[in-house]
Amino acid sequence: MAKLWGGRFTKGTDKAVEDFTSSIAFDARMYAEDIAGSKAHATMLAKQNIISDADRDAIVEGLTKIKDQIDKGEFPFSVALEDIHMNIEKRLTDDIGEAGGRLHTGRSRNDQCAVDLHMYVRKAVVEMGELVVDMQKALIETAEKYSDVIMPGYTHLQRAQPVLFGHHMMAYFSMLERDFDRLLMVFKHADIMPLGAGALAGSTYGIDQTYTQKLLGFSRIYENSMDAVSDRDYVVEFLSFASLVMMHLSRLSEELILWSTNEFNFIELDDAHCTGSSIMPQKKNPDVCELVRGKTGRTYGHLLGLLTTLKGLPLTYNKDMQEDKEGIFDAIDTVHFALSINAAMVRGMKVNGAHMKAVLDDDFSNATDMADYLAKKGVPFREAHEIVGNAVHHCIEKGCVLLDLSVEDFKAISDHFDADILDAISIEACIAGRNNYSGTAPECVERQRNNGKAVIVGEEKQIAQWKAIVESVQA
């Protein structure tokens, strides 16, 4: 098949080279963006009298038909034509003749490819934003549903202090709030138009980039044409967002895996989100959680891979930059799966609050509160710490916990203890007493939930703004 760029060559491309350099297998998913960019470019060319109105109309009509064919799965993609851009342009020229050959006037595949990816990433940010918000909603819903449940909080995976289950859930909400904030920067840097940069130096035609910018809904145009075709910072930033959100979901997955074991027995995942064993009939495996945890490393790989690819590239475009797409496409698919399935799992799981409370009644998670009690009586905290440590040691030897001791036992340990000590170190008191702004007291967690709902309102307004921009561009 003759290449659209083959005039300088005296022989055809080796088949192995065609297979190695082709990107159509993965960049075909940008067809809508490529067609939208080409329609805008043709419209601008006609406005500037670079092509005729008749050519513009033929191009736009031809591209519309091609999009319809691709939508229906009726478009035969060719590896020999390398990528989505050349596949569409060749079909257009075959369909409408010379007018199709004029479409590429005043642009290069370098700025064409770049504008496609910018638009695709903008669209992906909208999708990711919606999924992050739905996950945040699932966390708030679960925190409200189990608002009275008290659970052990951990450090070093050892029971440390009691916390409300809702407090634990809202910690993940805060992580996702930061993830959403990162999307703001991704969209900002994806929302810059490279079209008009040409191969690297701009165009000798009298093109109107501002008009094309308006048609494609971009907020800005790259100041520098060399930067325009070589910039992939926004892709790196998206992969950074993807890596961080996957890390947060992986941490949650790890906890769900632990909590669903018989050893913890804190939760039960819904059957719909688990699998069985081919040999052990009793098994209920948290495979989804394990896959999210596993796919996190894969997402990290895409980030590190692109950073490594870009680090040694001279300006401007190099074929290495074709490696920007497979990673981000896979990351988009992976994060989509992870966020959507985690939201469903959190909504569907059952929380064994009674068992969580029973665990706390049988351990020393209230020891810090006992030390605080003494410190509030005027005992230096380090001395109080030692007194409580000795009391814990005493209980371990007797096979009991602090709440099993009598007031007389406490007074024998230290004359700073009074009759109110047992009330002061009850699990409920430990929760209620931590009522500082970011604490786990019920009123604090309720405020966190209410603030979270307000955050979601703001995030949904931002998504609506992004969506309006993306949907204003019609392919």
- Residues forming the active site: 156, 277
- Quick count: other Cβ atoms within 10 Å of Cβ 268? 15
Distance of CA 181 to the CA centre of its chain: 11
Cα Rg of the chain, angstroms: 30
For the chain, what is the HEC assignment? CCCCCHHHCCCCCCHHHHHHHCCHHHHHHHHHHHHHHHHHHHHHHHHCCCCCHHHHHHHHHHHHHHHHHHHCCCCCCCHHHCCHHHHHHHHHHHHHCHHHHCCCCCCCHHHHHHHHHHHHHHHHHHHHHHHHHHHHHHHHHHHHHCCCCEEEEEECCEEEEEEEHHHHHHHHHHHHHHHHHHHHHHHHHHCEECCCCCCCCCCCCCCCHHHHHHHHCCCEECCCHHHHHHCCHHHHHHHHHHHHHHHHHHHHHHHHHHHCCCCCCCEECCHHHCECCCCCCCCCECHHHHHHHHHHHHHHHHHHHHHHHHCCCCCCCCHHHHHHHHHHHHHHHHHHHHHHHHHHHHHHCEECHHHHHHHHCCCCCCHHHHHHHHHHCCCCHHHHHHHHHHHHHHHHHHCCCHHHCCHHHHHHHCCCCCCCHHHHCCHHHHHHHCCCCCCCCHHHHHHHHHHHHHHHHHHHHHHHHHHHHHHCCCC
Q: Which amino acid is at 416?
A: H
Residues 6+ apart with CB under 8 A from 274: 284, 285, 286, 287, 288
Distance of CA 149 to the CA centre of its chain: 29
Give the whole-angstrom CA distance, residue 10 versus residue 267: 69
414-to-411, 421, 424 alpha-carbon distances in Å: 5, 11, 15
